[in-house]
C-alpha cells in the first residue's frame, strides 16, 4: 500500500485550479491560432484575435481568462494500492478546489437550484466539485481537471435513439444541437459526443471526451472518421466565432463510444467553449 498525505492531494488540486484559471492550455491556444489563420470572415478573425490576446493578458498578468470560472469537474482514477492518510480523497479534492478558487480570485458560481442562493458561505467557495471516480490497478492517483463554464453547458443535450438511427442519425443530431446553440456557447467550440452505454454513461462520456487534447487523434479509425465528418458538417453551418458568421465554428469533435443495450442508442452532446481550461496530473 502506498500512503499519500491528504494535504499533498489538497495542494496538487489547488495548484492545477490556480494554473487553469489564467493559463489557456497549449492545445487550445494552437488550435485557435490555426483557426484565426484559416477563418474566412474578417469579423470572426478579429474575435479570435481578441480571444488570443485575452489569453496572453490572462497568462502574463495572472487574471482569470473568463469571468465564468466554471464548476470544477474532475475525473479521478484511484490506484487500488493507494491509501489517503488523514482524510478522504473526496474531501481533499473539495478542499483543494476551495483553496484554488479563493486564492486565485476566481468566481464562486455554485448555487442552490431553486432559491439560487450562492453556496460559498454554506457549502464552501465554489463547492461541491463534480467528481467522477474510477478504481484502477496501481499505486497512483490520476486526476483530470476542467473548469466548466455555464454558457457551453447550457446548450448541451442528450437523447436515447432507436438503434436504427445509426451514424447518420447521430451526425444529424449533433448538427442540430450546435445549430440551435449558435453563438451562445462562445465558439470556436470543442464538441464532445458520448455514444452508447446507458443514458448517464453517454452523458459522462461526452464530458470526458472534452478532456482529450485538441489535435489528438481518436485511436479508433472508425471514430476518427466520424469525428472528421461531424466537424466538417458543423463548420458548414456558418456560425463562426461568437456566432458572428464564419467558417471556424468548431475546433474539434471528440467521440467516446461504449457498448450499449440491444434496444437503444444513447447519444449525448457536451459542448466546450473556446476557454477550454483543462489539465491532467498524476500523484
Cα 119 to Cα 122: distance, rounded to the nearest angstrom: 5
Q: Which does 133 bind (CB under 5 to 8 A by kind): other proteins, ligand SF4, none?
A: none
Q: Rank residues 105 and 133 by Cβ distance to other proteins and give the closer one.
A: 105
**DSSP state, 198?**
-
Q: Near other proteins by CB under 8 A, which window of 143-151, 203-211, 217-225, 255-263?
A: 143-151
Q: Rank residues 187 and 197 by Cβ distance to ligand SF4 and give the closer one.
A: 187
Nearest to 76 by CA among 25, 27, 140, 10: 140
Residue recorded with cell 466539485: 129
Residue 88 near other proteins by CB under 8 A: no
Return phi, psi of residue 68, to 5°.
Answer: -85, 100
**Contact, 98 vs 90, CB < 8 A?**
no
Return phi, psi of residue 243, to 5°.
Answer: 75, 10
Q: Rank residues 64 and 100 by Cβ distance to other proteins and give the closer one.
A: 64
Computed on alpha carbons and rounded to an integer, the radius of gyration of the chain in Å comes to 19
Cβ-proximal residue to ligand SF4, closest one? 149
> Of residues 31, 120, 275, 278, which one binds ligand SF4 by CB under 6 A?
275
> In sequence order, what DSSP letters do the residues of 86-151 get, joined into one string?
TS-HHHHHHHHHHHHHHHTT-----B-TTT--B-TTTT-TT-S-EEEEEEESSS-EEEEEEEE-HH
Helix (H) or strand (E) holding 278: strand 277-282
Residue 105 near other proteins by CB under 8 A: yes
Which 64-123 residues touch ligand SF4, going by CB under 6 A?
66, 68
> Of residues 83, 85, 132, 236, which one binds other proteins by CB under 8 A?
236
> Of residues 64, 79, 96, 194, which one binds other proteins by CB under 8 A?
64
Residue numbers at the binding site for ligand SF4 (CB under 6 A): 66, 68, 149-152, 185-186, 273, 275
Residue numbers at the binding site for other proteins (CB under 8 A): 22, 40-41, 43-44, 46-47, 50-51, 53-54, 57-58, 61, 63-69, 105-108, 116, 118, 120, 149-151, 154, 182-184, 186, 236-240, 242-247, 273-275
Amino acid at each position: 500500500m502506498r500512503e499519500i498525505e491528504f494535504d499533498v492531494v489538497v495542494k496538487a488540486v489547488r495548484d492545477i485550479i490556480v494554473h487553469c484559471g489564467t493559463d489557456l492550455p497549449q492545445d487550445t491556444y494552437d488550435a485557435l491560432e490555426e483557426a484565426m489563420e484559416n477563418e474566412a470572415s474578417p469579423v470572426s478573425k478579429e474575435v479570435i484575435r481578441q480571444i488570443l490576446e485575452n489569453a496572453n493578458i490572462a497568462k502574463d498578468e495572472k487574471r482569470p481568462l473568463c469571468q465564468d470560472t466554471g464548476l470544477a469537474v474532475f475525473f479521478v482514477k484511484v490506484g487500488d494500492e493507494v491509501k489517503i492518510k488523514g482524510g478522504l480523497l473526496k474531501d481533499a479534492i473539495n478542499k483543494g478546489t476551495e483553496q484554488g478558487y479563493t486564492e486565485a480570485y476566481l468566481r464562486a458560481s455554485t448555487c442552490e437550484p431553486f432559491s439560487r442562493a450562492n453556496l460559498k458561505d454554506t457549502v464552501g467557495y465554489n463547492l461541491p466539485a463534480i467528481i467522477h471516480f474510477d478504481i484502477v490497478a496501481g499505486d497512483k492517483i490520476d486526476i483530470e481537471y476542467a473548469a466548466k463554464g455555464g454558457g457551453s453547458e447550457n446548450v448541451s443535450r442528450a437523447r436515447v435513439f432507436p438503434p436504427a438511427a445509426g451514424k447518420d442519425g447521430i451526425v444529424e443530431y449533433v448538427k442540430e444541437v450546435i445549430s440551435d446553440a449558435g453563438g451562445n456557447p462562445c465558439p470556436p467550440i470543442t464538441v464532445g459526443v458520448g455514444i452508447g452505454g446507458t443514458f448517464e454513461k453517454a452523458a459522462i462520456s461526452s464530458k470526458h471526451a472534452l478532456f482529450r487534447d485538441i489535435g489528438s487523434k481518436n485511436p479508433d479509425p472508425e471514430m476518427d472518421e466520424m469525428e472528421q465528418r461531424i466537424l466538417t458538417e458543423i463548420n458548414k453551418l456558418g456560425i463562426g466565432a461568437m456566432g458572428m458568421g464564419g467558417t471556424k465554428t468548431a475546433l474539434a469533435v471528440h467521440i467516446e463510444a461504449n457498448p450499449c443495450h440491444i434496444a437503444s442508442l444513447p447519444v449525448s452532446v457536451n459542448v466546450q467553449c473556446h476557454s477550454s481550461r483543462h489539465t491532467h496530473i498524476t500523484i
